[in-house]
Amino acid sequence: MFGVTVRDHMMIAHSLRGDVFGPAQRLHGATYVVDATFRRAELDGDNIVVDIGLAARELGGIPAGLSYRNLDDEPAFAGTNTTTEVLARVIADRLAERVHAGALGEGARELAEIAVTLHESHIAWASYERAL
């Protein structure tokens, strides 16, 4: 199995609902350093997993659409606890949509999996992986 990973980041405000979150129930914020990994069993005719330029552009577009925002005010997240885990899934799912739409190139349609990791600090991170 081959994989290629590209890194970007986003800076958001949000609050979390539920006693389990303790002080993170207050409005606060986070920088998420976002790693998106694309995997497939065999390389394409150019010997690549995916066009890394397109991958970086598409990954960049997703955090850019979330960054510098208060997620509590985003209709897309109404009623949703925007935990690091959820945001990893949102980014993976949006990337999957972009793959299926052809935005990462025709060869990318043979990708097998996407994994997204969000680093919220030097001591904590979360990830989500899914098939394509």
DSSP class of residue 24 equals: G
* Least distance CB 5 / its own copies (angstroms): 5
Residue with tokens 């990708």: 111
Is residue 97 involved in binding its own copies (CB under 8 A)?
A: no
Helices (H), 1-132: 52-66, 84-100
* Residue with smaller CB distance to its own copies, 43 or 97: 43
Is residue 132 involved in binding its own copies (CB under 8 A)?
A: no
Binding characters for its own copies, 17-56, by CB under 8 A (x = yes):
-x-xxxxx-xxxxxxxx---------x--xxxx-xxx--x
How far apart CA 81 and CA 87 sit, in angstroms, is 9
Nearest to residue 120, comparing CAs of 5, 9, 7, 6? 9
* Least distance CB 73 / its own copies (angstroms): 8
* Least distance CB 101 / its own copies (angstroms): 18
How far apart CA 104 and CA 52 sit, in angstroms, is 9
Is residue 78 involved in binding its own copies (CB under 8 A)?
A: no
Residues in the chain: 132
Is residue 12 involved in binding its own copies (CB under 8 A)?
A: yes
Q: What angle do CA 67, 39, 2 make, to 5 degrees?
A: 130
Which residues of this protein are in contact with its own copies, per CB under 8 A? Answer: 1-9, 11-14, 18, 20-24, 26-33, 43, 46-49, 51-53, 56, 67-70, 80-86, 88-89, 105, 120-129
